[in-house]
Amino acid sequence: MRSKAIKNLSMAYAVVDIETNGAAPGAGTVTELAVCITDGQRMLGRSEWLIRPDAAISPFVQRLTGIRPEDVEDAPSFRELAPEIAARLEGHVFVAHNAAFDHTYLQREFEACGEGYKGLWKEGRLCTVQLARKVWPGQASYSLGNICAALGIAVEHRHRAGGDAEAALNLLHRATELKGATFLESMVKRRAVLLPAGIQADELPEHPGVYYFLDAKGRAIYIGKAINLRKRIVSHFSRNGKGGEWLQRVAEIRTEPAGNELAALLLEYLAILKHKPEYNVQGRFPLQLYHLFIYSNRAGQPKLAIARGKKPEQVLQTFRSRDAARDAYLKLLETHAICPVFNHQSRQRCANPDCYCKETAETRDALHADRMAVLVQTATLRDVGRFWVSGTGRTPGEKSVLLMEDEQPLAFGFAPEDADPTAEEIPDYLQSLPDAANLRALVEPFLIHKKTSNLSSS
Asked if residues 209 and 225 have their Cβ atoms less than 8 Å apart, the reply is: yes
- 11 vs 339 by CB, closer to Zn ion: 339
- 234 vs 350 by CB, closer to Zn ion: 350
- 129 vs 367 by CB, closer to Zn ion: 367
Among 75, 188, 270, 357, binds Zn ion (CB under 5 A): 357
Cα separation values, 7 from 4, 189, 211, Å: 5, 18, 31
At closest approach, how far in Å is the CB of 356 from Zn ion? Answer: 7
Among 194, 355, 384, 455, binds Zn ion (CB under 5 A): 355
- 240 vs 363 by CB, closer to Zn ion: 363
At closest approach, how far in Å is the CB of 418 from Zn ion? Answer: 48
- 157 vs 344 by CB, closer to Zn ion: 344
Among 187, 339, 404, 430, binds Zn ion (CB under 5 A): 339
Half-sphere exposure of 62 (CA within 13 A, CB side): 10
Q: According to the binding rule CB under 5 A, does residue 344 interact with Zn ion?
A: no
At closest approach, how far in Å is the CB of 225 from Zn ion? Answer: 41
Q: According to the binding rule CB under 5 A, does residue 301 interact with Zn ion?
A: no
Q: Which stretch binds Zn ion (CB under 5 A): 11-19, 32-40, 257-265, 343-351?
A: 343-351
- 355 vs 419 by CB, closer to Zn ion: 355
At closest approach, how far in Å is the CB of 357 from Zn ion? Answer: 3
Complete edge-to-edge strand list for the sheet that includes strand 302-308? 302-308, 290-296, 315-319
| Residues contacting 180, CB < 8 A, separation 6+ | none
Q: Which stretch binds Zn ion (CB under 5 A): 71-79, 180-188, 317-325, 357-365?
A: 357-365
Complete edge-to-edge strand list for the sheet that includes strand 13-20? 43-50, 30-38, 13-20, 93-96, 125-127
Among 43, 234, 350, 436, binds Zn ion (CB under 5 A): 350
At closest approach, how far in Å is the CB of 379 from Zn ion? Answer: 20
- 223 vs 339 by CB, closer to Zn ion: 339
The answer to whether the peptide bond before residue 76 is cis (omega within 30 degrees of 0) is: no
SS (H, E, C) 117-182: HHHHHCCCEEEHHHHHHHHCCCCCCCCHHHHHHHHCCCCCCCCCHHHHHHHHHHHHHHHHHHHCHH
At closest approach, how far in Å is the CB of 342 from Zn ion? Answer: 5
The Cα–Cα gap between 363 and 194 comes to 65
- At 287 the three-state DSSP class reads coil
| Residues contacting 422, CB < 8 A, separation 6+ | 386, 387, 388, 403, 456, 457, 458
Strands of 173-314, DSSP E? 209-214, 220-226, 252-257, 290-296, 302-308
Q: According to the binding rule CB under 5 A, does residue 64 interact with Zn ion?
A: no
Contacts to Zn ion from residues 131-150, by CB under 5 A: none
14 forms beta bridges with 37, 94
Contact residues toward Zn ion (CB under 5 A) are: 339, 350, 355, 357
